[in-house]
Structures are given as C-alpha cells and as structure tokens.
A and B are shown apart, each in its own frame.
Chain A
C-alpha cells in the first residue's frame, strides 16, 4: 500500500538460545496509515512486542532480523546505527509498560524532555525548556512549569506515563508505538492515559500502534485491529467487523473466553501456545483449534480476504459454510 506510513513485510525475528533458534516472529506483514490508531492484540509470546522492537532497531545483537520495515518510504532493516538514532524519537517513538524504566531518575523531567528535543532539533536551552512545559501541559499534567522541575520519583504511575508520552511526541513523530502503555495502571488511570493517546493521535495526526492483550482497550480506542498468534498475523480488519463477526477460530476463541453478561460458563481455548523453539510446521493455532484438519499442518496460512476481514485460516470458508461459526 502506497499510503502506509509504516509498512512491515515478511518480518522474521529469531533469537539464538542455548536450546536452539527461537522463532519469535515468522513472516509478519503490517501496515498503518497516517493518523490511524491500530490495535495489535495477542497473548504473551505471540511476538507483538518483538515485532515493533525490531522495527525500532532496539533488539539485542543476538536477534536475527530479516524482512523489510519501511517508514515513510525509508528502509530501516539494515540501516546503520546513526541513521536509526536519527529516526528513533524523531520519526518513530515507542513507549512501554513501565514508565519508570524509561525515565532517568537523577534528571528533572523537564530536562529529559528538552534533551529529546535537542537531540533532533537545533533549539536553544531556553526554547527547549519552554517547549517541554508546553508538552507537559498537552499531556494533561497540572502545573506543568512546576512539575517540569521535579524528578520522576515525585510523579505517580499515571503521571510518569504522561511524561513518557510527552517525550515520545516531543518531535512530532509520524508513528507512535505504545507497547502495553496502561497494563501497569489502575483502570481509572488507564482511562486517562488512553484519552491522552487518542488526543495526540487526533491533534497531530500521529499514527499510533497500540499493543495490548486487553480486547476492551482495543474496542475503546482502535479503528483497526491486527491479531497475532505464534509470531504471525491471524486476522486483521476494522474494529467493528472484527468484534462483530471475527472469522479466525483463534480470534473467536479469544472473544469467547472473556467473561461477559449472561454467560454462565466461560469457554477457554484448550491447550496452550506453542513452544517457539519448535513451532508447528503449519498453522500455529492448529494444535489448539477445534476445526483443525490434517491439511492445516501443511504450510503457513497467509492472510486473505474473507468478507470485510483478512484471515489466515485455510478452512475459513468451509467452517462458515458448515455453520460451525456464525457470521
């Protein structure tokens, strides 16, 4: 797609471990348009974080990354360190679950934001300080000019995450990657942070990749969703369609396992995720799938259109025509 601001093609990430090669990401495609808020869901070990760490060039050297990551027409895989440093924080920023580890405990938060500005722009100390206060105000920190002079330990968890967001958007990046930004926060604070992220996206037209395991969070803020399992995309589409009539058995299973009104008994997905040291040869979900047939274990299923969704299930037409899953 020509309109994507970030486009990932056939991404593979493997880690060399003493037990063999761990295949964290196995041929992943991903696109996000400018100003879009894309949700990425998956359970632990599905490769959702690793994918975007690879895109940012933040994986350790023992990780082998192949494929293509195009950011605004520029290839990032294989780019040199200098180039990546210039991209990170300017064109693409990332925030994480734990804001405290992203902040330097011995520097005032205002100075940390200024540093981010001065790393990428020619700007005087004074102007950077003024801009830092503006950014703190933008992310909803009260008394920003006083708070800019404080240290990270003087902020609460929710306020720290706001500071980290202020740093991440300081240079008005095209893409903001938020990796479980609210997982460590209480629900009332989570609601505030999600609002800040949405405000940033609307105000600056930033494309936001929101990585989470919480389908409720996705339903609240995302416009499109990408479901990952065992290092691959299994389903992708507009948020309403995906929640209304998901077609991949894994997405269905995930939605059915949530507690909801009027359901007496939950429906867990049987079994557990595959060991990525030795992933299944075919569809990664096949060992847990109630519709699995021998042909599912031959070759990796690709995403293809099914209704208004993209689904990586070779049996999706059969399953639906048999009425096993209702549209």
Chain B
C-alpha cells in the first residue's frame, strides 16, 4: 500500500482553563483530545462522528495546525507538521484547507464573494489571472460567474457554503477538512452540497476529513468512519462494517439513538437508551471513558483502559466486552 496522505499519531491536546473552586481560582486541564491515531489515504474520505465534547472539531483544527498539539504528531504527505518552520507551514497550507460549519461567520461581510475566493491566491502569491480562476471556481461549485461581484448577505446559506468551498478549492488542495459543513443547512439544500462534495472528489481526487454529528450524512459520504467519545476513538473502520456490525457499545447506542425517517422501522427497533450526559473532559472517567454510561461496564473497565483491537469484522474498537 502506498503511503497515506495524512497520518495522525497519538495526538493529544489539553487546554488549560481557569476554573473557580469556591472562591479560589485553580488551573484545570480540559483533555479535549487524548491519544487519537488514524490515517487518510489519497482520494479517500474519513468521517469523524461524535457528540459535543468528543473532540472531533479539535482534531480537525490540529490537522490544520490552527492549534498546536500537546503531544503526538500530524504527518502530511510524509512531513511531520510540528517540525516545520512557520514559512514552510504557510506554503504547505495551500495543500490543506478547511471549510467551517457556519457559512455566515466564515465569510467577510465587507468583501465581495469574488475577493473572498481570490484571497488565498493573493496570500500564496499565485501567478496567473486570478479573476479567471475565481470564475472557474464559482462554476465548479455550481454558482454563476456574476456572483463574484456580490456580497455574502445576498446569498442563502447553501450558496454561502458553496462560496466557502470554492475558496477552499482555490489552491488545488490535496486535503480538505470539512467541519460540520452541512449541519447549518436545511435538508433540501444539504443534499445538494453533499452531492457537490462527492462530485468534486471524483473530479479532483482530493481527500476529505468529514467531521459531523449527523451519522446518516457521514455514512453517505465517508469511506471510513471514526467514532469519538470524550477525546478518544472508540471505534474506527470501513463505514459499512462500523454501521452494520458495530462492536463498541457506544457505537451501538449512538446508532440506535439516531431517529430513522421510517415509522415502521422506528416502531420495531430495539433502542438502547443511554443514561445521563457525556461527562466533563476536565475530569474524564478512569479506564474506559464510556464506562459511566455503559450497560456492560465491569470492574476492569474502571481500572484498565481498553486498547483499540482489530475485530473479526475488520474494524478497530476499544472495549473489554465487544459486541
């Protein structure tokens, strides 16, 4: 097998926060990402799913080096990003781009859409005719060329997200991190943007890291899926295996919690109701992080953290009592 485009190895990110304990201020660590490893091959899509606080967005930002990791490494195309100098990283950024969730916040309201899309070309001192490239990009994402003179407020949510995608595509990246790119959109609009991602990948061959909480969208678009919980990967593998034969209790519970738009299926489904909420990442449970909500939890789960183990069905999962 050829070398993966992106390799994330034992990535850890702790944020220091100041919390109040009584009247005293104390420093606490939020363990947002705690030892996450995965690879993404060229032209492939890795979906990362998880609930709020699972660390999926932090992973996306660490890949982009918008945050620097506490430990671990991100290797992009054979180069360890943490060893790069600022200027080298800046040059490498043209090959990795990110699209954010909120298409209202990620565009400058005072810049025309054309200027926003063309800005990466200016920043990276790209030679050639920028205006032509902007037109080409607009057409690529399904917008008309005359959009380039208009301002973000003149566009709907779905159109703005397309502008964000065009900007990410400007420098022909090999990797795009998509951080909840469709969750702010209505379903009828969302479908068009999801199709656009598939089409662009087929045409341009880039890799995606698709971060989302919507499991059905991830199932549609990803090749492989990683399920995160409290900063750790619980299960990772080919999407059909993870969705059809989940081995981690959390994946099982998560899948059973997602409502399916089919009343007959909904009525006949066996549903696992998880109790309580996700614990705080400031003080995660010992051993397996999921054990406080797990119906299978035993003594060993509190004492020993389960490692990711390859299961018969072909995915890795971290559980002492896999399904």
List the interface of chain A (C-beta within 8 A of B). Answer: 43-44, 156-159, 186-192, 194-195, 213-220, 239-240, 243, 253-255, 257-260, 263, 265-270, 272-273
Complex Cα–Cα for A269 and B189 (A): 7
Docked complex Cα distance between A217 and B266 (Å): 9
Instruction: Kindly supply a per-residue 1/0 record for chain B positions 261-301, scoring 1 wherever the CB is within 8 Å of any chain A CB and 0 otherwise.
Output: 11111100001011101100000000000000100000000
Give every chain B residue within 8 A of A257 (Cβ-Cβ): 187-188, 190-191
Q: Is the CB of A272 within 8 A of B156?
A: yes
B213 adjacent to chain A (CB < 8 Å) = yes
- Distance to closest chain A CB from B281 (angstroms): 13
Q: Is the CB of B186 within 8 A of A213?
A: yes
- In the complex, are the beta carbons of A243 and B187 less than 8 A apart? no
A sample of 9 cross-chain residue pairs with beta-carbon separation below 8 angstroms, ordered by A number, consists of A158-B277, A219-B263, A219-B266, A220-B259, A240-B264, A258-B216, A259-B194, A266-B192, A269-B191
Given known A156-B277, A219-B262, A272-B156, contact A190–B257 (CB-CB < 8 A): yes
CA distance A159 to B276 in the complex (A): 9
Q: Which residues of B contact A267 (CB under 8 A)?
A: 191
Q: Which residues of chain B are within 8 angstroms of A255 by Cβ–Cβ distance?
A: 261
Known: A259-B220, A260-B261. 9 other contacts (CB 8 A): A157-B277, A188-B257, A191-B257, A191-B273, A213-B187, A214-B259, A220-B259, A259-B216, A269-B189
Least Cβ–Cβ distance between B176 and chain A, in angstroms: 19
With contacts A186-B52, A216-B261 taken as known, whether A258 is within 8 angstroms of B273 at the C-beta atoms is no
Contact yes or no, B254 A187, CB < 8 A:
yes
Question: Is B51 part of the contact surface with A, judged by Cβ < 8 Å?
Answer: yes
Question: When the two chains form their complex, are residues A240 and B263 in contact, meaning their CB atoms are under 8 A apart?
Answer: yes
Residues of B within 8 A of A (CB): 51-52, 156, 158-159, 186-192, 194-195, 198, 213, 215-217, 219-220, 253-254, 257-266, 271, 273-275, 277-278, 293
The 6 nearest A-B residue pairs measured at CB: A216-B259, A268-B192, A268-B191, A257-B191, A259-B220, A266-B191
Q: How far is the CA of A195 from the CA of B257 in the complex (A)?
A: 11
CB closest residue in chain A, given B50: A186
Q: A235: shortest Cβ distance to chain B, in Å?
A: 15
In the complex, the answer to whether B273 meets A259 with C-beta atoms within 8 Å is no
A254: which B residues are within 8 A, CB to CB?
A: 187-188
A188 and B276 alpha carbons, distance in the complex (Å): 9
Looking at the assembled complex, report how far the CB atom of A73 sits from the nearest CB atom of chain B, in whole angstroms.
32
Distance from A78 Cβ to chain B, minimum over Cβ atoms (Å)? 34
Instruction: Tell me, in angstroms, the Cα distance from A272 to B161 when the chains sit together.
Output: 14
CA distance A240 to B194 in the complex (A): 28
Contact B194 A188 (CB under 8 A): no
A283 to B156, CA, bound (A): 21
Assembled-state Cα–Cα distance A158/B263 (Å): 24
Residues on the A chain within 8 Å of B190, using CB:
257, 268
B-chain residues with CB within 8 Å of residue A272 when the two chains form the complex:
156, 158-159, 189
User: Of A188, A192, A195, A265, which one neighbours B195 at CB under 8 angstroms?
Assistant: A265
Contact between A239 and B263 (Cβ–Cβ < 8 Å)?
yes
For A270, the closest partner residue in chain B by CB is B192
Docked complex Cα distance between A259 and B213 (Å): 14
**B262 lies within 8 A of A243 (CB):** yes
Question: Is the CB–CB distance between A188 and B259 below 8 Å?
Answer: no
Cβ contact of A216, chosen from B51, B189, B254, B258, cutoff 8 A: B258
CB distance from A256 to the nearest CB of B (A): 8
State which of A159, A217, A265 has its C-beta within 8 Å of the C-beta of B198: A265
Which B residue's beta carbon lies closest to that of A159?
B277
Q: What is the distance, in angstroms, from A36's C-beta to the closest C-beta of chain B?
A: 15
User: Cβ of A187 and Cβ of B156 under 8 Å apart?
Assistant: no
B243 to A, closest residue via Cβ: A261
Q: Which residue of A lies closest to B259 (CB)?
A: A216
With both chains docked as a complex, state the minimum distance between the C-beta of A273 and any C-beta of chain B, in angstroms.
8
Assess the B258–A268 pair: CB atoms within 8 A: no
Closest chain A residue to B158, Cβ basis: A272
With most chain A CB atoms within 10 A of its CB, the pick from B187, B189, B254, B275 is B187
A156 to B53, CA, bound (A): 13
Least CB distance from B121 to A in Å reads: 29
Q: Identify the interface centre among B156, B186, B192: most chain A CB within 10 Å of its CB.
A: B186
Contact A191 B260 (CB under 8 A): no
**Do B191 and A43 touch (CB < 8 A)?**
no
A268: chain B residues within 8 A (beta carbon):
188-192, 195
Q: Which residues of A contact B51 (CB under 8 A)?
A: 186-188
Residues of A within 8 A of B273 (CB): 191-192, 195
Contacts A219-B263, A259-B216, A266-B220 given: A187-B257 contact, CB under 8 Å? yes
The residue among B51, B159, B257, B271 with the most chain A CB atoms within 10 A of its own CB is B257
Q: Which of chain A's residues has its CB closest to B53's CB?
A: A186
Report the minimum CB–CB distance from B180 to chain A (whole Å): 13
A68 to chain B, nearest CB (A): 30
B117 to chain A, nearest CB (A): 20
With A240-B263, A243-B263 as contacts: A187 and B217 at CB distance below 8 Å: no
- Judge whether A219 and B261 touch: CB under 8 Å: yes
Determine if A266 and B195 form an interchain contact, defined as CB atoms under 8 angstroms apart.
yes
B315 shortest CB reach to chain A, Å: 19
Please name all residues of chain A whose beta carbon is closer than 8 Å to the beta carbon of B158 when the two chains form the complex.
272
Please indicate the chain A residues that have their CB under 8 angstroms from the CB of B192 in the complex.
266, 268, 270
A157 CA to B261 CA in the complex, in Å?
25
B278:A269 contact, CB within 8 angstroms: no
User: Which chain B residue shows the least CB distance to A258?
Assistant: B261
Q: B156 touching A259 by the CB < 8 A rule?
A: no
Q: Which of A157, A188, A269 has the most CB of B within 10 A?
A: A188
Chain A residues near B213 (CB, 8 Å)? 186-187
Chain B, residue nearest A261 (CB): B219
Contact B191 A219 (CB under 8 A): no
Measured between beta carbons, the chain A residues less than 8 angstroms from B271 are 191
Q: Which of the residues B159, B189, B220, B254 comes within 8 Å of A188, measured between beta carbons?
A: B254
Contact: B260 with A253, CB < 8 Å? no
Chain A residues whose C-beta falls within 8 Å of the C-beta of B189 in the assembled complex? 268-269, 272
Residue of B186, B219, B266, B278 near A259 (CB, 8 A) is B219
